Chains A and B, each alone.
Chain A
């Protein structure tokens, strides 16, 4: 049930009716409606997927109860002995409890991520083992075909964040199994995120609500905007990327591949952010405000800035649960001091650089069981690590060259530089495998020719001139909307809400009609991030 099908909209409409038509006292069971919808939604993809989801939910629930109980015991014991224990005794007790909780957490993390690892990465590991075995002249192992349930990467990370937040004492354990299950598998976010946090999402999921027109209207507009991005831009740009990368890049020349990569940057952004718009819009119709996942990413001034604006919820997850615990750990602190003594100010950046590398190695693996994704992650992490090391040098360079890093000109240079770096990263993302990516990168720089723009090579990539015009127009619309948000920090809808009704309606109708008139293809394709 993709977000563009008739079934999705029927499902949403029926769900909204049931959710809001629950009378009086029954309204406290509104969350059950959401849970039922979530399970039904998952079942439309795979019933077996529900069983695997429940493995994660059961482990998360049970583990959460254990950690919650330990938190509770710790607090009660400390409170009960407040007057008896000395400060050192209290500290020692807390340290003992923390160690116990940590052991429990480690077991739970192994369980939750173990399910993901077995299902998603067994094939990848065995493939690489087979390469080694083949090189050693041994027989290859058979690779089992395992069911990859919808959204497993998303709900696994969401479950893990719940357990870690519990461990850190940020939240209380959810005692109701159903409510926890709803948090883990809330249907709009199941396919492609955003990765929700328990403290912000769960209270919204279980709150009783009455129908609110503003929420409904906002949800509709947001869904319309998402469909516009997906159907007018993403699918159209996607036809070029398919033409260039689906059957191997060897038949294409430099500029064709570069155009393919450029189109992929349009496709991926429009597809992923469009899908997230639909998710956020659908949730808003139920009165639930989801975390934003994008903030004008192509206006980023550095790769680290890019990752604060692109797939924000994954970035913050990595920052909160991997980067900080790792780079602020005692070991890293000692390493930082040691490196600082040996290498001066460059050395002090070592823990941060290593943290960046680790985080983006995980980001790469999260994207998929393939070497190309690992290199994609290391490429991003490497640039960030390099930037951390070089930061002191940059500062002194600016001073010597009299460059004002806060000037508008430098800001634009940074945006263009980052955009190019991001484009290069797509060479490790869209091609079928790592060697194809390397070949694409090589061909881009070794076989470009301006004649490819005039001899029909670019036109041969599957789009008509009119399609390129529509793409350009759509990109301009997104550019100006993004520019407005970037400059004012306001959502366009907030500004539109202050405008006359006739103007608002005209814009909304233009958006919807342009989907019909300029939407690509008879049937839209699936969403890219649904595969993760």
Chain B
């Protein structure tokens, strides 16, 4: 057999192999909220120009529909529970790669700054393997970590394969629905985000019917609120700014107000001082929601699904309306107190 024929045969073999890999991905790769969000923002028939990124606090707090209506933009939220700053860099890169983005609203949750966060969770599993198989973002990420990433992940989404008959059956059912085909999620198993999907990537948490829990966690975080932030995390924040600057995208940062209990025990002055100093030195616009005036955004414990600060959907929409006003007014002074003691009068910090 001639060399050319052998070469063609080899190419054909790998073509068949990759088709089978895609088939395996279809059959075994589960479809949850994270995959949906990344797939949704990558849809070719949509062009989002306002992107919300961040972790779980942001995922629940920002209603992209309110942003879209108030600011006349086409907003989408890619905030995902557990999303580290490093992951946000890639999420933002991928969004910029697939959309004409003007503005990135990045939510700053201080809990991601006190130590060098490691990447875990669904986003870690899906970001490189599942949703963006041939994107420039995935390729550069693979190259950057090529010394540690397993070659299997480069060709398939196997890192999150589910193999039991029930899982496969459910997966195939989901993927046969129009919701999956259109990335409109309605009937989709939203793995990891069991809340109401409201559109534009937003999963709204239902209103609370009983007192939220999580006091132990909030108390555990007190000592961390008093420390110096991780240099590495701040560098990653700077990297987000660089990515935005490199693509002419405006970066605006917000922080979602914490619960009254968390605000009473965490050292928010320390957090504010460090973050304010950092954002000022980097020239990044940051609105500290921890100091948001009660008159502007009245909040109580029942507005949160836990004491740490994950906000409910209705309070999230109210909060987003304030965020939109701030973005329009370009003056935080009316909305935000200058320090913690003004924001929470009468509350004992200790």
Query: Which residues of A line the B interface, CB within 8 A?
Result: 1, 4-10, 44, 211, 213-214, 216-217, 227, 231, 466, 501, 505, 508-509, 512-513, 515-517, 519, 522-524
Q: In the bound complex, do residue B24 and residue A517 qualify as a contact, i.e. CB atoms below 8 Å apart?
A: yes
Q: In the bound complex, do residue A213 and residue B7 qualify as a contact, i.e. CB atoms below 8 Å apart?
A: yes
Q: Which of B150-158, B237-245, B285-293 contacts A (4 or more CB under 8 A)?
A: B150-158
A509 to B149, CA, bound (A): 22
Q: Decide: A6 near B150, CB < 8 A? Known: A213-B7, A517-B163.
A: yes
Q: In the bound complex, do residue A1 and residue B152 qualify as a contact, i.e. CB atoms below 8 Å apart?
A: no
Q: Which of A9, A522, A524 contacts B125 (CB 8 A)?
A: A522
Within the complex, what minimum Cβ distance (angstroms) separates A9 from chain B? 5
- Chain A to chain B contacts (Cβ below 8 Å), 12 pairs: A6-B149, A6-B151, A213-B6, A501-B9, A512-B17, A516-B21, A516-B161, A517-B24, A517-B28, A517-B163, A522-B153, A523-B150
A523 to B7, CA, bound (A): 32
Q: Which residues of B contact A519 (CB under 8 A)?
A: 152, 158
B16 CB within 8 Å of chain A: yes
Q: In the bound complex, do residue B151 and residue A8 qualify as a contact, i.e. CB atoms below 8 Å apart?
A: yes
Q: Which residues of B contact A512 (CB under 8 A)?
A: 17
B147 CB within 8 Å of chain A: yes
**Tally of contact residues, B, Cβ under 8 A:** 32
Q: Which residues of A contact B150 (CB under 8 A)?
A: 4-6, 522-524
Q: Which 9 A-B pairs have the closest CB atoms?
A: A213-B6, A7-B146, A6-B146, A522-B159, A7-B147, A516-B158, A6-B149, A523-B150, A6-B154
A517 to B155, CA, bound (A): 12
Considering the complex, give the chain A residue whose CB is closest to the CB of B142. A6
B3 CB within 8 Å of chain A: yes
B10 CB within 8 Å of chain A: yes
Q: In the bound complex, do residue B149 and residue A10 qualify as a contact, i.e. CB atoms below 8 Å apart?
A: no
Q: Which residues of B contact A213 (CB under 8 A)?
A: 3, 6-7, 10
Q: In the bound complex, do residue A517 and residue B158 qualify as a contact, i.e. CB atoms below 8 Å apart?
A: yes
Which B14-59 residues sit within 8 Å CB-CB of chain A? Answer: 16-17, 20-21, 24, 28
Q: In the bound complex, do residue B151 and residue A44 qualify as a contact, i.e. CB atoms below 8 Å apart?
A: no
Within the complex, what minimum Cβ distance (angstroms) separates A463 from chain B? 14
Within the complex, what minimum Cβ distance (angstroms) separates A530 from chain B? 14
Q: Which of B6, B24, B164 contacts A516 (CB 8 A)?
A: B24
Could you count the A-B residue pairs with CB atoms below 8 Å apart for me: how many are there?
A: 75
B350 CB within 8 Å of chain A: no
Q: Which residues of B contact A524 (CB under 8 A)?
A: 150
B176 CB within 8 Å of chain A: no
Q: In the bound complex, do residue A523 and residue B148 qualify as a contact, i.e. CB atoms below 8 Å apart?
A: yes
A522 to B3, CA, bound (A): 37
Q: Which residues of A contact B9 (CB under 8 A)?
A: 501
Q: Which residues of A contact B154 (CB under 8 A)?
A: 6, 9
Considering the complex, give the chain A residue whose CB is closest to the CB of B164. A466
Q: In the bound complex, do residue A508 and residue B159 qualify as a contact, i.e. CB atoms below 8 Å apart?
A: no
Within the complex, what minimum Cβ distance (angstroms) separates A233 from chain B? 15
A238 to B165, CA, bound (A): 26
Q: Which residues of A contact B142 (CB under 8 A)?
A: 6
Q: Which residues of A contact B21 (CB under 8 A)?
A: 513, 516
A16 to B143, CA, bound (A): 19
A1 to B145, CA, bound (A): 11
Q: In the bound complex, do residue A10 and residue B146 qualify as a contact, i.e. CB atoms below 8 Å apart?
A: yes
Q: Which residues of A contact B146 (CB under 8 A)?
A: 5-7, 10
Q: In the bound complex, do residue B17 and residue A509 qualify as a contact, i.e. CB atoms below 8 Å apart?
A: yes
Within the complex, what minimum Cβ distance (angstroms) separates A230 from chain B? 11
Q: In the bound complex, do residue B17 and residue A523 qualify as a contact, i.e. CB atoms below 8 Å apart?
A: no
Within the complex, what minimum Cβ distance (angstroms) separates B3 from chain A? 6
Considering the complex, give the chain A residue whose CB is closest to the CB of B147. A7
A522 to B128, CA, bound (A): 12
Q: In the bound complex, do residue B16 and residue A5 qualify as a contact, i.e. CB atoms below 8 Å apart?
A: no
* Per-position binary interface string of chain B over residues 94-135, scored 1 when its CB falls under 8 Å from any chain A CB and 0 otherwise: 000000000000000000000000000000010000000000
Within the complex, what minimum Cβ distance (angstroms) separates A131 from chain B? 38
Q: In the bound complex, do residue A509 and residue B147 qualify as a contact, i.e. CB atoms below 8 Å apart?
A: no
* Per-position binary interface string of chain B over residues 158-187, scored 1 when its CB falls under 8 Å from any chain A CB and 0 otherwise: 110101100000000000000000000000
Q: Which of B13, B20, B151 contacts A513 (CB 8 A)?
A: B20
Considering the complex, give the chain A residue whose CB is closest to the CB of B129. A522
Q: Which of B7, B16, B151, B163 contacts A4 (CB 8 A)?
A: B151
Q: Which residues of A contact B20 (CB under 8 A)?
A: 509, 513
Q: In the bound complex, do residue A5 and residue B152 qualify as a contact, i.e. CB atoms below 8 Å apart?
A: no
Within the complex, what minimum Cβ distance (angstroms) separates A49 from chain B? 16
Q: Which of B125, B149, B155 contacts A5 (CB 8 A)?
A: B149
Within the complex, what minimum Cβ distance (angstroms) separates A33 from chain B? 21
Q: Which of A1, A466, A523 is packed against the most chain B CB atoms within 10 Å?
A: A523
A211 to B149, CA, bound (A): 29
Which B285-322 residues sit within 8 Å CB-CB of chain A? Answer: none
Q: Which residues of B contact A214 (CB under 8 A)?
A: 6
Q: In the bound complex, do residue A505 and residue B6 qualify as a contact, i.e. CB atoms below 8 Å apart?
A: no
Within the complex, what minimum Cβ distance (angstroms) separates A426 from chain B? 27
A6 to B163, CA, bound (A): 24
A523 to B153, CA, bound (A): 9
A466 to B161, CA, bound (A): 14
A227 to B155, CA, bound (A): 14
Q: Which of A7, A8, A516, A517 is packed against the most chain B CB atoms within 10 Å?
A: A516
A522 to B145, CA, bound (A): 14
Within the complex, what minimum Cβ distance (angstroms) separates A221 from chain B? 11
Q: Which residues of A contact B158 (CB under 8 A)?
A: 516-517, 519
Q: In the bound complex, do residue A516 and residue B156 qualify as a contact, i.e. CB atoms below 8 Å apart?
A: yes
* 8 extra A-B contacts, CB within 8 A, seeds A213-B6, A513-B21: A6-B154, A7-B147, A8-B151, A9-B154, A213-B3, A515-B152, A516-B155, A522-B159
Considering the complex, give the chain B residue whose CB is closest to the CB of A515. B152
Q: Decide: A466 near B151, CB < 8 A? Known: A513-B24, A516-B156, A517-B24.
A: no
Q: Which residues of A contact B16 (CB under 8 A)?
A: 505, 509
Q: Decide: A5 near B151, CB < 8 A? Known: A213-B3, A505-B13.
A: yes
Q: In the bound complex, do residue A516 and residue B151 qualify as a contact, i.e. CB atoms below 8 Å apart?
A: no
Within the complex, what minimum Cβ distance (angstroms) separates B244 from chain A? 28
A461 to B340, CA, bound (A): 52
Within the complex, what minimum Cβ distance (angstroms) separates A163 from chain B? 35
Within the complex, what minimum Cβ distance (angstroms) separates B249 from chain A? 29
Q: Which residues of B contact A509 (CB under 8 A)?
A: 13, 16-17, 20
Q: Which residues of B contact A44 (CB under 8 A)?
A: 147
Within the complex, what minimum Cβ distance (angstroms) separates B237 from chain A? 27
Q: Decide: A516 near B7, CB < 8 A? Known: A1-B147, A6-B142, A7-B147.
A: no
Q: Which residues of B contact A4 (CB under 8 A)?
A: 150-151
Q: Which of A44, A216, A513 is packed against the most chain B CB atoms within 10 Å?
A: A513
Q: Which residues of B contact A9 (CB under 8 A)?
A: 151, 154
A362 to B10, CA, bound (A): 46
A112 to B164, CA, bound (A): 55
Within the complex, what minimum Cβ distance (angstroms) separates B222 from chain A? 33
Which B161-217 residues sit within 8 Å CB-CB of chain A? Answer: 161, 163-164
A227 to B13, CA, bound (A): 18
Q: Which residues of B contact A466 (CB under 8 A)?
A: 163-164
Q: Which residues of B contact A6 (CB under 8 A)?
A: 142-143, 145-147, 149-151, 153-154
Q: Which residues of A contact B164 (CB under 8 A)?
A: 466
Q: In the bound complex, do residue A217 and residue B10 qualify as a contact, i.e. CB atoms below 8 Å apart?
A: yes
Q: Which residues of A contact B147 (CB under 8 A)?
A: 1, 5-7, 44
